Amino acid sequence: MTAAAELRPAPQAPRRVRRLRAAIAACVLALATTCAPVPLGDGPRRQTVRALTEQVVLPTLGDVAARAAELAAAAGALAGAPSQQALDATQEAWRVARGPWKECDAFAFGPAMDERLAVAIDQFPVEPAKIESEIAGTAALTVDYIDTIGADRKGFHALEHLLFGAGDDLAVLALLTTDAAAPRRRELLVALAQNLERKARELGSAWAPGGGAYAELLATPSAANPTYTTVKAAIDAFVNESVFLAELVADTRIGKPLGLSAGGTPQPALEESGPSDNSLADMAASLRGLRAVYTGARGADGASGSGAGIGALVAAQSPATDREVRDLIEQAIAAIEAIPRPFRAAIVDRPAEVQAAYDAVKELKRILATEVLAALGATLKFNDNDGD
């Protein structure tokens, strides 16, 4: 093309046609933006979800399955040869398994709820009378049978009833050895522990790449994803669970036993892991799970992991909010750990310490439900309602 030709104005389409073209182009752009199943960008939020699933969720679920297997092995040994040593080992295995399991509270969405695995593993309260009726019954107490019975007679707290519920270790051992129903009690102990292990493995498998691949579903939001069409939805899932968990720990696990909803009268029956005296450890573990999601780092000291958690996203928007959330998480864990055991005695004798823990967790819930939501543009989603 010559220079003259380049300088010559190109013939123009009629004005109305040009307008129509512009309008069509704009509509096409909007439709592409709206509908196109274009692979989503690998932005920080997407990376955060990926990091959380790979470095927090899957390892924690792996720990749960491993600890549940150890618990099942210990229960088998106890049932095979009941002794104080075997009972101690099984009780310790129960407590150890509770740690990673309660950390899972921070991501108790997806398979835990959809496949009802959370209630099969950790229904509270259970019905001691119904557990005893299973022992008194005639059904074969197998791991498969446990699958068929209600959540109020299986899982961690049914095992807690068998391992801790008789008052003291001597009484527990007596029920496992000299009691007339001891053989069926031992059978139930083994079946419950094996079923717990099975459910823990099922949960891990539901998230794992080779199984249900829920982690992949969460980490790869797209228009074609049946559950998470946007990365916002995936972030929302973690944030919603954190808000709910902080509220659960404050109101249900601390406030109710303390009697805050009962006019100040302590309610020891509402303590979640009373017989095992593990309530405070449970609560601290739950908040460590929340911390892991927020900081991206697992472990008792919160130092294991990439650090790519929700908090990094919050910090990018509001550093002051991020700093305060991290402080409040540590303060809440410290306040719970400062409550003297047993919790059932503390709610009566040391209410100030328990109240301090309640206040600390409640403040954590408040900042999560307000500033963190705002910083992330997250939505507390209890339904699929519209907005404008």
Contact residues: other proteins, CB under 8 A: 16, 19-20, 22-24, 26-27, 29-34, 36, 38, 40-41, 43-46, 221, 230-232, 235, 247, 251, 255, 260-264, 317-321, 362, 365-367, 369-371, 373-380, 382-388
Distance, in Å, from the CA atom of 316 to the CA atom of 367, rounded to the nearest integer, reads: 16
CB of 122 to other proteins, least distance (A): 20
Q: Contacts from 376-383 at CB under 8 Å and sequence distance 24+?
A: 376/235, 376/239, 376/310, 376/313, 376/314, 376/317, 377/232, 378/232, 378/235, 378/236, 378/239, 378/240, 379/232, 379/236, 380/240, 380/243, 381/236, 381/240
Tokens 């009378």 label which residue? 129
The token pair at 46 is: 């997407």
Nearest CB to other proteins, comparing residues 180 and 382: 382
Question: Burial code of 316-352, b = ≥16 C-beta within 10 A, e = fewer?
Answer: eebeebbebbbebbebbbebbeebeebbbebbeeebe
Half-sphere CA count of 230, side-chain side, radius 13 A = 10
Query: CA triplet 288, 284, 305: central angle to 5 degrees?
Result: 15
Nearest CB to other proteins, comparing residues 13 and 27: 27
CB atoms inside a 10 Å sphere around CB 386: 5
Nearest CB to other proteins, comparing residues 208 and 243: 243
CB of 300 to other proteins, least distance (A): 29
CB of 147 to other proteins, least distance (A): 29
CB of 365 to other proteins, least distance (A): 7
CB of 40 to other proteins, least distance (A): 4
Nearest CB to other proteins, comparing residues 300 and 316: 316
CB of 178 to other proteins, least distance (A): 46
CB of 4 to other proteins, least distance (A): 34
Nearest CB to other proteins, comparing residues 80 and 377: 377
> Taking the mean position of all CA atoms in its chain, how far away is CA 48?
17
- Give every CB contact of residue 42 below 8 A, 6+ residues apart in sequence: none
Distance, in Å, from the CA atom of 271 to the CA atom of 247, rounded to the nearest integer, reads: 16
CB of 229 to other proteins, least distance (A): 10
The token pair at 79 is: 């049932």
Least Cα distance to 49 among 236, 325, 225 occurs for: 236
Nearest CB to other proteins, comparing residues 140 and 380: 380
Nearest CB to other proteins, comparing residues 29 and 352: 29
Nearest CB to other proteins, comparing residues 28 and 170: 28
Phi and psi at 297, nearest 5°, equal -125, 130
Nearest CB to other proteins, comparing residues 214 and 358: 358
CB of 378 to other proteins, least distance (A): 7
CB of 357 to other proteins, least distance (A): 14
Q: Distance of CA 131 to CAs 146, 155, 190, Å? A: 11, 11, 14
Nearest CB to other proteins, comparing residues 130 and 366: 366
